[in-house]
Amino acid sequence: IQKSGNDVERKVAVSSLLAEAEMMKKLDHPALPRIVDIIDRDESVCIVLDYVTGESLDRLLKRQKSFPEDQVMNWFLQLAEVLEYLHRQNPPIIYRDMKPGNIMQTPEGFLKLIDFGIAREYKYKNQTDTIALGTNGYAAPEQYGHAQTDPRSDIYSLGITIFELLTGISPGKDPYQYQYHPIRKIRPEILESTETILNRCLAFAPDQRYPDCRALIFDLRHPERTISSVRRKQKRRTAFFYL
């Protein structure tokens, strides 16, 4: 990217690229591309990353329309694990742009998360983000400037990404359409545990979502416990109501 000129968009792009590089230099995870080199000259800056072979999930989705549940749930776990790694950094790194177009599948079947252009380090004292960024439909409600994004914002974006991979329905036109069309109404064969996990990821209020990716990963690895827990809570609420 050229540094010269007064073009605001160019300056923002350079700033974003350098911020991305600084964050990624600290990271070491198989699902994240490594920075090979940073070439910073007077007139331009260039960041050299690992070359990721494969195809993005949005391109695969255009051909296949949707994917089998077992394949998507494997991806769900892989992506939750890489987000958990990012959130464990000090300070936590909030990715903020989870979507099929930013996920690459390698020829070996593993996923790589790319494009850290709007990722940010979590600032514990901030009440809201300085700049509201994200992709329409995939961004959590608070990502539009109502509150500071945190790990639960990434969990929301991951949930809507998984919803799209299972249904082939893009959230771009109607970001909250899943609330009116539960996933098992669209695909009745989907397991109840999958729907339960997605519903929690996609709660409108952050405090109703998973508190962190560790809790999400536990449910993904133990889906039968997820259903048992939900049913116990329902029974307690019913008993309280009749009391």
Q: Is the dihedral of CA 172, 112, 152, 189 positive or negative?
A: positive
Cβ proximity of 86 and 92 under 8 Å: yes
- Hey, what's the torsion of the CAs at 207, 208, 214, 217, to 10 degrees? -160
Cβ proximity of 155 and 216 under 8 Å: yes
Residue 5 DSSP code: S
The one-digit pLDDT tens for each residue of the chain (243 residues) are 455 555 666 676 677 667 767 777 788 899 998 877 777 776 677 777 778 899 999 999 999 999 999 999 999 999 999 999 999 998 888 898 899 999 999 999 999 998 876 555 544 444 444 444 568 889 888 877 656 788 999 999 999 999 999 999 988 877 666 676 789 999 999 999 999 999 999 998 999 999 999 999 999 999 888 766 666 665 555 444 455
For the chain, how big is the Rg over CA atoms in Å? 19
- DSSP-derived secondary structure for 193-236: HHHHHHHHHT-SSGGGS-SSHHHHHHHHH-HHHHHHHHHHHHHH
pTM for this structure?
A: 0.80
Known catalytic residue at 97: yes
From the list 70, 97, 115, 207, the catalytic residue is: 97
Name, in order, each residue with C-beta under 8 angstroms of 136's C-beta and a sequence gap of 6 or more.
172, 175
Kindly report the backbone phi and psi dihedral angles of residue 37, in degrees, each rounded to the nearest multiple of 5, phi listed first.
Answer: -165, 155
